[in-house]
Structure 1
């Protein structure tokens, strides 16, 4: 995105955005996709939670909370189509990551959930192809780029927590990973 869209001191995020090519054009396209996609998000969320409940490792984490989690998930999905991916969006994604860490959601669940969405949202876009503001491939690319950004920001919360618990710096963690 543009330099004003992210905190200037966040070189890692700047690098991620530069390499990942999430652009102002993506932001505009995602905002245009909102009216097309948002009405379908509750159904996508139902499908997502049906899938999660079939997994014996994940299902116990969801017991008694499905309705609340579904509502939160739909709001999060809607946010993907807000068109503004600046500091407030980044802060919301990082907060989601820290909440996942706090309630001890294993990273496997985050990664597999993002994988599910990377597979299912393009299918949703394909079903709505006649309503899309741009070609399907461009719409899909924009959605995948914003999902990747969210995944990166959520995962980063796990790394920050690990460094905090271990009392090490990012530089030391990087050195340890190269040993």
Structure 2
């Protein structure tokens, strides 16, 4: 399945309110936030460890997951937030699909991450309420953007599974299906 990551970028940014001014703000504050992201990651995985349902997904993998998580969080404050970023977020979602992580875990995890990031922003910029509020809104938008893209992986996987079921039930070959789809696509 081939996705148009440029189109998915525009779509996800519009739903998350991730505007160019918010992108610029994240780049501006990144140098002040990035030194704290290892602690945010550590706290996140400590919280996940207290949730019994996440244990099977973490067992023996926490240190590797932390490294990947820190890199993702740094990317939230370094950009660019383009089709390559979107493709990477889709890939992250695809990995979650492959390990059969329930989709609701991603939304819950993003809430935990945002809670900690918002606290960090208040601690860092709390003296300037407007700047603090704008920064929280920017972080909320970039994490929402990331989550929307990651969740598209689940939808794509579901469609692929349905197609496989259809092909198996109908006895139709993938080649025939693809040729039929291409023939009717422009009509």
- TM class, shorter-chain normalised? 0.7 to 0.9
- What SS class does the counterpart of residue 78 from structure 1 fall into? helix
Alignment of 1:54 with 2:56, yes or no, is: no
Offset at residue 22 of structure 1 (A): 1.3
Q: TM-score, normalised by structure 1?
A: 0.82
Alignment of 1:115 with 2:111, yes or no, is: yes
Q: TM-score, normalised by structure 2?
A: 0.79
**Higher normalized helix content (fraction of residues):** 2
- What SS class does the counterpart of residue 57 from structure 1 fall into? helix
Residues 131 and 28 (structure 1), Cα distance of their counterparts in 2 relative to 1, 3 Å cut: farther
Residues 19 and 111 (structure 1), Cα distance of their counterparts in 2 relative to 1, 3 Å cut: closer
Residue of 159, 162, 165 corresponding to 1:166: 162
Q: Gaps (5+ residues) in structure 1?
A: 1-5, 169-179
- What SS class does the counterpart of residue 35 from structure 2 fall into? helix
Offset at residue 84 of structure 1 (A): 1.3
Offset at residue 147 of structure 1 (A): 0.4
2:32 aligned residue: 36
Q: Please tell me the root mean square deviation across aligned C-alpha atoms, in Å.
A: 1.9
Offset at residue 19 of structure 1 (A): 4.2
Offset at residue 131 of structure 1 (A): 8.7
Moved over 3 A (4+): none
Offset at residue 92 of structure 1 (A): 0.7
CA contact (8 A) 2:15 2:145 kept: no
Residue of 62, 65, 68 corresponding to 1:69: 65
Q: Deviations over 1:18-43 (max 9, x none)?
A: 34321111111111111111111111
CA contact (8 A) 2:26 2:78 kept: yes
Q: Gaps (5+ residues) in structure 2?
A: 167-187
Offset at residue 130 of structure 1 (A): 6.0
2:174 aligned residue: none
Offset at residue 117 of structure 1 (A): 1.5
Distance in structure 2 (CA, Å) of the matches to 1:166 and 1:131: 53
Distance in structure 2 (CA, Å) of the matches to 1:84 and 1:131: 28
Q: Deviations over 1:70-92 (max 9, x none)?
A: 11111110010113101111111
